[in-house]
Structure 1
């Protein structure tokens, strides 16, 4: 899956099933991925593509009606799919693999002060006394950009704005000293300015503390600014995997083309934005062929009959599309994403990609 051997977490052939009203829904269909030490791996796709469900298997947080039906998840020599009890997960969840959710109010206790919630985590995961933990908690609040941290230490979540609450959730995650930080749409509920601040904060904290990140989003603009590698998910499966530069400059799967075409910055002069027609397939029944075929203008006959294998594009890039087969007709990607890198540099201000482009010049 990756050219780098410093793999912290490795999932292989993960299948996740849910029992729903006497039927079985297969939410994750044979997913494999590697998270490399120090990197940011973005999981991208529409709502319902399986991004959050997949990462819940890394922390044992699937709903009661869900299960990992097959596959393995190796975290530093331990197969997490073998964990069955709360006691099994206690040493992993939070302590080694922490999660930041979309809505910080679901992570914060509304009747406890901000400071007490950070102290509780420091005492539990770092073994400090309450006095030591208070000093550290204020330091964490400073690091995540809370003004007058000592003064605001005894305030309650409702006294903080949405962006400030999200900063506190990040501080709590840092207090766990995690190896891996899962960010599940952490900026979706925030306005654009605050969103950019949170992304910059996460990037700087990653450099300081050295954790690896799995960043879940449907926003490819966010991906461009933070990710190193990108896994594109559709209907419970990874259909393309590449470096962030390859995803933007050389996308190969028609679904990835559609996601890129939907970037708000690519709206036409009338403000009209491309939208993907149709809806994803039902996952109650086996998917035949390419799950995206019915929604794609580029589908071949074989897409309705047989699932595409992984076609290797480069050492760091593969995609599951028959368009990469040597006998497939040559098809150009949509005009709106032709020369996308030039449009990105000219109009979108994605510094991460811009720096890379300048470095390649």
Structure 2
């Protein structure tokens, strides 16, 4: 089935480099990905795989030593790589593409009240008066589940718990009325119960406001409940892409197999989890072949010699692995992730 939805954000052949102590680190290596209107795209991978760097290019928030060295990024047809100044980016950042970060305290001003921080955004992005903005701010606070919102309007961030602060950051993002919402590991700093509440909140808000979402996480368990599509990142590249069902139940790349094998729900009786051997490659030197090959027990000679093209699995699913070549030996995915749905369901019911 061809996707009839509009492409809202499109990255093509994007390369991002950083100057680090007289050396060049290539953090993003020729990534191409489309984001469709109204969808939730989860970007998953280990720490350091380039997830946050990729999404920072969508809002012009790369560090000063970073640059987009190649490629095109279009938001609704507008070329974002041509935007240079802070004022150019202000038209996009927040109002069109907003970001919720991992640690709410980095997003909130500790010396301004919660109410002031939300109303300021509403006045700027929605053109409301201060009185209208206050009323709307309290509405947003209620919407994200802040109890006694009117009473807590004049409190400061330190008076809120971590989970409540993250709810306020979500309220501020909503107040921008974004077209695209980037959630950069928004639950990592929170305990498990609060994580589940924040995920449910984001799902409900996405349904209500119909914004398009990019959800960055290293936790594939979170992905199952929130995403439509999944992009699996490794060493600055997307190595597999598909619908959430395809990635969970018909994964093709050995790296995706490894990530799925590490799901907490698949721990053995002693609570021991699978861990991926080895370490990711250095991004200071060019990578030849499949970047994951040195850590993969499925690697073939060609994996160390030739860059892998995209092999189509279906209209919505592709992977960069030589295992999909017609001449490759037939390899089964690891036993631990076969019948994944059944295994996770069993664990849940125990």
TM range (shorter): over 0.9
| Aligned ranges 1:302-317 → 2 under 5 Å | 302-317=302-317
| Aligned ranges 1:191-210 → 2 under 5 Å | 191-210=191-210
Q: Deviations over 1:191-226 (max 9, x none)?
A: 111111100100110111110000000000000010
| Equivalent position of 1:353 in the other structure | none
Report SS of the residue matched to 1:71.
strand
Distance 1:220 1:149, change over 3 A: same
Q: How many residues align?
A: 348
| Equivalent position of 2:113 in the other structure | 113
Shift of 1:303: 0.2
Q: Distance in 2 between matches of 1:92 and 1:246?
A: 33
Shift of 1:348: 4.2
Q: Deviations over 1:287-344 (max 9, x none)?
A: 0100000000000110000011100000110000000011000111111111112112
Q: Deviations over 1:98-126 (max 9, x none)?
A: 00000000000000000000000000000
Query: TM-score, normalization: structure 2?
Result: 0.98
| Aligned ranges 1:265-284 → 2 under 5 Å | 265-284=265-284
Q: Which moved more, 1:228-237 or 1:201-210?
A: 201-210
Q: Distance in 1 between matches of 2:60 and 2:39?
A: 22
| Equivalent position of 1:233 in the other structure | 233
Shift of 1:346: 2.5
**Structure 1 unmatched runs, 5+:** 350-361
**Structure 2 unmatched runs, 5+:** none
| Equivalent position of 2:161 in the other structure | 161
Q: Distance in 2 between matches of 1:347 and 1:250?
A: 20
Q: Distance in 1 between matches of 2:299 and 2:348?
A: 30
Report SS of the residue matched to 1:198.
helix
Any conservation in 2 of the 1:4–1:36 contact (CA below 8 Å)? no
Distance 1:148 1:189, change over 3 A: same
Query: TM-score, normalization: structure 1?
Result: 0.95
| Aligned ranges 1:40-119 → 2 under 5 Å | 40-119=40-119
Q: Deviations over 1:145-175 (max 9, x none)?
A: 0000000000000000000000000000000
| Aligned ranges 1:323-334 → 2 under 5 Å | 323-334=323-334
Q: Distance in 2 between matches of 1:32 and 1:343?
A: 33
